[in-house]
């Protein structure tokens, strides 16, 4: 933890992610950049969040959904944010539309399609079953299946059939891969609302099931398959970011979820630190996950809390590339 100190911005690309990436490095050098990942918002979004992101000097903002329960006005504010961004909507963003019980709870006009309103507001920045090429950063953001509830069972079949003509995990993987094949860049960042399967089955793993019966991998199998297929195509995947599985474990308040995992050249990051805005005796604190990419390699990932004057009051380093060995003179 640091208090009020400037963030380390550049770390040479060494460490486990770098060693894998070096072997597949493309001939063109990628610009370095700082990426902010905004975990589950759940209505905690204020104008100060955009100001904080500007003060942090981020090059790209990834927002991984659950803005509220079909909270159109929150999504409107997100859509109006001027920073480069890519968004994927979460299960709460289809809270009253994807399930029978939700439709019964729905308030207001049943003719008002708030899922479509959110998609229309976000436009090209919504990458669920889509992608966003970012030439300035030399990478493409690819979105997994939007509105995911997570887990190994195909759910909400009517919703996905009507909206996307998708009726299985296999078809979903195929849809994600269409975006991968259309990507303008060889370096891909994947975002999903829920993370991919394969990150562990313990309740405190990045997508581990933390409610009764406790345990089990609640990641998305279609997402995992698409990442694996992209890598088989030779794509570089330095970062996979997601939320949905909140850091605070449901069955115990004593521990927090493991927020990162590293596999081959890829850092998997769960950004769902909820609530993401806290009212404290030192003012309002808001969290962001920050990822530093150096030449296409993740060199640092951290969870930071920003205070009212937009300085960072705490930083939890989640991943840090190893420091270079200095040659002795």
Residues that bind Fe ion (CB under 5 A): 40, 66, 90-91, 244
| DSSP secondary structure code for residue 91 in this structure | G
Nearer to Fe ion, 287 or 299 (CB): 287
Which residues on neighbouring strands pair with residue 19, listed in sequence order?
none
Determine the Cα–Cα distance for residues 67 and 163; give it in Å rounded to an integer.
Answer: 20
CB 66, min distance to Fe ion, A = 4
CB of 91 to Fe ion, least distance (A): 4
What whole-number distance in Å separates Cα of residue 308 and Cα of residue 124? 31
Select 163 or 235, whichever has its Cβ closest to Fe ion: 163
Q: How many CA atoms lie within 13 A of 92 on its CB side?
A: 19
Note whether 287 and 273 are within 8 A (CB): yes
Give the residue at shortest CB distance from Fe ion.
40
Q: Closest CB to Fe ion among 45 and 295?
A: 45
Residue 148 Cβ, how far from Fe ion at the closest point, in Å?
8
* 270 φ, ψ (degrees, to nearest 5): -95, 115
Least distance CB 220 / Fe ion (angstroms): 12
Nearer to Fe ion, 66 or 210 (CB): 66
Closest distance to Fe ion from the beta carbon of 147 (Å) = 9
Of the candidates 151, 158, 144, 156, the residue with the CA atom closest to the CA atom of residue 62: 144
Q: Which is nearer to Fe ion, 176 or 194 (CB)?
A: 194
Question: Would you say 205 and 195 are in contact if contact means Cβ atoms under 8 Å apart?
Answer: no
Considering only CA atoms, which of 242, 128, 118, 141 is closest in space to residue 187? Answer: 141
């Amino acid at each position: 933890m640091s208090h009020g100190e400037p963030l380390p911005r550049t770390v040479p690309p060494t460490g486990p992610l770098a060693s894998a990436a070096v072997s597949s490095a493309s001939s063109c050098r990628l610009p370095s950049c700082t990426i902010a990942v905004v975990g589950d918002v759940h209505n905690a979004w204020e104008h100060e969040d955009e100001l904080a992101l500007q003060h942090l000097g981020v090059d790209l903002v990834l927002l991984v959904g659950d803005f509220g329960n079909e909270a159109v006005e929150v999504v409107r504010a997100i859509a109006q944010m001027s920073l480069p961004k890519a968004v994927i909507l979460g299960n709460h963003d289809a809270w009253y539309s994807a399930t029978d019980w939700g439709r019964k709870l729905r308030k207001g006009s049943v003719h008002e399609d708030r899922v479509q309103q959110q998609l229309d507001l976000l436009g090209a920045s919504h990458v669920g079953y889509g992608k966003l090429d970012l030439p300035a950063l030399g990478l493409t953001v690819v979105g997994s299946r939007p509105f995911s509830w997570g887990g190994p069972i195909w759910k909400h079949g009517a919703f996905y059939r009507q909206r996307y003509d998708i009726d299985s995990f296999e078809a979903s993987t195929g849809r994600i891969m269409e975006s991968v094949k259309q990507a303008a860049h060889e370096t891909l960042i994947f975002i999903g609302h829920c993370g991919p399967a394969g990150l562990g089955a313990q309740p405190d793993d990045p997508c581990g099931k933390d409610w009764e019966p406790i345990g089990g991998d609640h990641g998305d199998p279609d997402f995992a398959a698409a990442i694996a297929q992209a890598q088989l195509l030779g794509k570089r995947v330095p970062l996979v970011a997601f939320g949905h599985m909140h850091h605070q474990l449901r069955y115990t308040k004593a521990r927090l979820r493991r927020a990162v995992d590293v596999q081959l050249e890829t850092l998997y990051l769960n950004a769902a630190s909820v609530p993401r805005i806290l009212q404290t005796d030192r003012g309002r604190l808001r969290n962001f996950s920050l990822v530093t990419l150096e030449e296409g390699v993740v060199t640092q990932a951290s969870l930071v809390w920003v205070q009212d004057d937009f300085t960072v009051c705490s930083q939890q380093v989640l991943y840090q590339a190893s420091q270079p060995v200095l040659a002795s003179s």
